[in-house]
């Protein structure tokens, strides 16, 4: 079953234009040049209109190191943080490379790693990294969000089953994280 999910993930990534921009083994991100799903008003004053070009961040599931036998600990979290920072720097370098003219207005995406209304460490971390955090908006409604969450849950199960220890499918909620392209390049280039 895990093999089937991984194969399906490859097909969906190809169909959606998600690509590997970095060949480093510790890169945690893939990218997708897409269109803003809705209007965004970012904290630095940037306004992004629905349909404007954006750069979507996707976790590179195969590169997420599994936690130790006792589960995620501080050392594992510190390693993930360092890998994520290096990945953001690599993405900024890719974006700044003039051979990839994208004219993106913002960088971001949706995640189940931060729940709406969560005032925990995930929210503080994303804000510290310069991202604005918003409630997830999907034109598909709660039914569509269920299917997106089911797919995310399957990916976690297929690539890093230990990450499901405290996550229940029906309790998964999504949030959006966004940063303006100017602020992203200023921070990470």
For 34-44, the pLDDT digits (tens) are 999 999 999 99
Number of domains in the chain: 1
Q: Rounded to whole angstroms, how far apart are CA atoms 96 and 184? A: 10
Domain that holds residue 6: 2-188
CATH assignment at residue 121: 3.40.630
Helix (H) / strand (E) element for 75: namely: helix 74-96
What is the structure's pLDDT at 62? 82
| Spatial contact of 153 and 145, defined as CB atoms under 8 Å apart | no
Q: Rounded to whole angstroms, how far apart are CA atoms 18 and 40? A: 22
Predicted TM-score (pTM) of the model is 0.84
What is the structure's pLDDT at 163? 60
What is the structure's pLDDT at 144? 67
For 153-175, the pLDDT digits (tens) are 666 666 666 665 565 554 566 77
| Spatial contact of 74 and 168, defined as CB atoms under 8 Å apart | no
Residues lower than pLDDT 70 in the chain = 2, 7-9, 71, 101, 115-120, 141, 143-144, 146-147, 149, 151-173
């Amino acid at each position: 079953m895990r093999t089937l999910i991984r194969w399906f993930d490859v097909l969906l990534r190809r169909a959606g234009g998600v690509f590997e921009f970095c060949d480093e083994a510790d890169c945690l991100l893939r990218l997708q040049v897409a269109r803003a799903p809705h209007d965004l008003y970012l904290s630095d004053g940037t306004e992004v209109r629905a349909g404007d070009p954006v750069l979507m961040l996707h976790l590179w599931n195969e590169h997420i190191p599994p936690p130790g036998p006792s589960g995620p600990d501080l050392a594992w979290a510190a390693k993930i943080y360092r890998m994520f920072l290096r990945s953001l720097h690599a993405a900024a370098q890719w974006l700044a490379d003039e051979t990839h003219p994208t004219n993106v207005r913002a960088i971001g995406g949706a995640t189940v790693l931060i729940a709406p209304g969560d005032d925990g460490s995930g929210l503080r971390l994303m804000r510290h990294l310069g991202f604005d955090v918003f409630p997830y908006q999907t034109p598909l409604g709660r039914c569509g969000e269920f299917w997106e969450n089911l797919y995310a849950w399957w990916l976690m199960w297929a690539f890093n089953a230990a990450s499901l220890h405290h996550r229940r499918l029906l309790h998964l909620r999504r949030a959006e994280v966004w940063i303006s392209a100017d602020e992203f390049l200023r921070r990470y280039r």
